[in-house]
Amino acid sequence: MATRPARPNLLPTRSSPDPRAHVGLSGRGEIGATAARPRVLKRAELPVDTAELARFLIGKMLVRTPAEGIAGGRIVETEAYVVGDPAGHAYRGMTPRNRALFLERGHAYVYLAYGVSFMLNVSSETPDVGAGVLIRAIEPTIGVTFMERNRGAERARDLARGPGRLCEALAIDRRLDGIDLCQSGPLWLGSDGQAPDEIGQSKRIGITRAADCPLRFYVRGNGFVSGPRTLNR
């Protein structure tokens, strides 16, 4: 007999500190109150393969450093758009808009979806091979006030649950397109040494081409993951 899916656990866990504990946009030296200070990921650590990179990024940190200080959180949901993927922006080749997808792995590809929301992707594979990983959600851990101000929302669960919300919360737009995420700068990928909880895998969300490919990765039971419960078991 079918059972009702378990409700997401919104309580803090070892890998999920309470985002409300960070009441401001913390300075660089104020990160470590409840978590280790993240370090910038080296490019050599990033898997070349797109699907492997999407899984690898679960549990890593996405860090934004605006003028006020620092903000960001733990990546809890990604989607891979692999080489030759008809749902990927690189499918028809390089254009001025998508050229960042063809850079060496670990660069930001930022685009505007439907003229409404920006989306952040991480380039993958080798130079001149177009593919990438969409960052779909983070669990906010640093600079929550900054994200609340950008989103006009106070419910921590909704600050960066979904790729459009994520970019709005962290003030990510086309000005960050093409930047190197493997070096200190306005936006970077990091690690605080914590392993993620159990990683789930499902089909991707909101696409029509290659819709059933199991290329979405997420932290099981994490309340900051987007999408329907049926895909988050």
Q: Print pLDDT tens along the chain (233 aa).
A: 333 333 333 323 333 333 333 333 433 333 333 456 899 999 999 999 999 999 999 999 999 999 889 999 999 999 999 999 999 999 999 999 999 999 999 999 999 998 999 999 999 999 999 999 999 999 999 999 999 999 997 788 999 999 999 999 999 999 999 999 999 999 999 999 998 899 999 999 999 999 999 999 999 999 999 998 888 88
Whole-prediction pTM: 0.85
Q: How far apart are the first and last CA of the chain?
A: 16
> How far apart, in whole angstroms, are the C-alpha atoms of residue 80 and residue 53?
8
Place of tokens 């309580």: 11
Question: What is 58-112 written as a DSSP string?
Answer: TT-EEEE--TT--EEEEEEEEEEE-TT-TTSTTTT---TTTGGGGSSSSBEEEEE
